[in-house]
Amino acid sequence: MASLQDHSDEMYEDAVLAHGPALGRLALAYEMNPEDRRDLLQEIHLALWRSFATFDDRCSLRTWVYRVAHNVATSS
C-alpha cells in the first residue's frame, strides 16, 4: 500500500510542477473573488491528489489534471 501512495504522491508532484500555474488560471476563470478562488484552488489540489489512486494512463497527465480541475470547478 505504501508504494501505491508513494506513486500517487509522485504523480501529484509531477502534475503540479507541470500544470500548477495553469490550475491557478483555471480557478481565476471560474471564480473572481480572491478568497473563493483560493478555496477553489485548494479543492482542486485535494481532488487532484486523491484522483491519482485511480489514474490508469488511458489519457495524458495533462488531460487528467484539467478534467479533475474542471469537474471540481463546475461542481463547486
- pLDDT tens digits for range 12-59: 999 999 999 999 999 999 999 999 999 999 999 999 999 999 998 999
CA distance 28 to 38: 9
Question: What is the per-residue pLDDT for 8?
Answer: 84
Question: What is the per-residue pLDDT for 19?
Answer: 97
Nearest to residue 43, comparing CAs of 29, 27, 67? 27
Q: Is the pLDDT of residue 5 over 80?
A: no
3-state secondary structure at position 29:
helix
Question: What is the per-residue pLDDT for 2?
Answer: 56
CATH code reported for the domain at 2-75:
1.10.1740.10
